Amino acid sequence: MNRHLRRIAAAVAAAGTLAVTALALPAPALAAPLGQVRLSQTSGSVDTNPIFASAAASAPCPAGYGSDAAVRIGPVGGPYANVATPLRDGGYDTKAVTAKPNRSFAMALGNVRPTDGEWQVVVECYSVAQGMHPERFVTPITVSGARWRTGRPAGAPADPSAGGASPSASGQPPSAGASSGPPDVSGADQAELDARLAANNRTGKASFGNAWWIAGLVGVLCVFGLVFLLTRRSPGKSR
């Protein structure tokens, strides 16, 4: 009986240790944006072509990610669609990305008007060897009916990805895989657009933090299974 109790106590202690470890592990940190996207205007119509005259990143792309770049638009976190022809001249890690859009907001979404709420204009940076940089230059915009304006919706909670930064006086706040260049996902066929956007939705949140959480929980379940095997009575054994 004492041996039985010792086994149970050891198994329970191990389960407790694994549970505490899993709970103590920090949640994965949200990536910070590279900077903001400066737009040539602070408001406009979703049907105006082009959506705005120009867009420029607030700084050059990170070193090594200057082979290609793209200015895109989409819901918070993506997927994003191009509002300008992808930039392929290179050197975007030594000079800030600047582009002139060639389509309206609605055209970028496949000739479908955006829904009301928060959207993002982003600049993505690409490397020939490593694909897209995991972070972006980001400026939030708000859509209401047929109009858009820079900034987040009134009363929106602080954006964690923006590091707590607040909108600038100009109304343009900051916020921020594997092909070597940005794909052009614009087009009139909405079904095709949806499929291509989904294939290009590089918004996975996998991280070592998540992996450790899963490993910890699996470990707890394994220990409880071990407790069951150690304590169950064999058939025919007397009480």
- The residue ranking higher by pLDDT, 175 or 191, is 191
Single pTM value for the model: 0.58
- Predicted local distance difference test score (pLDDT) of residue 49: 97
- The residue ranking higher by pLDDT, 214 or 200, is 214
Give the C-alpha separation, 33 to 89, whole Å: 23
pLDDT in tens, 24-57: 444 444 456 899 999 999 999 999 999 999 999 9
- Predicted local distance difference test score (pLDDT) of residue 157: 75
- Closest by Cα among 38, 8, 54, 9 to 175: 38
- Closest by Cα among 170, 164, 122, 124 to 150: 170
Dihedral sign of CA atoms 191, 46, 140, 64 in order: positive
Identity of the residue numbered 78: G
pLDDT above 70 for 239: no
Find the angle CA(189)-CA(194)-CA(196) to the nearest 5 degrees.
95
Enclosing H/E stretch for 144: strand 137-144
- The residue ranking higher by pLDDT, 16 or 51, is 51
The distance of Cα 62 from the centroid of its chain, to the nearest Å, equals: 18
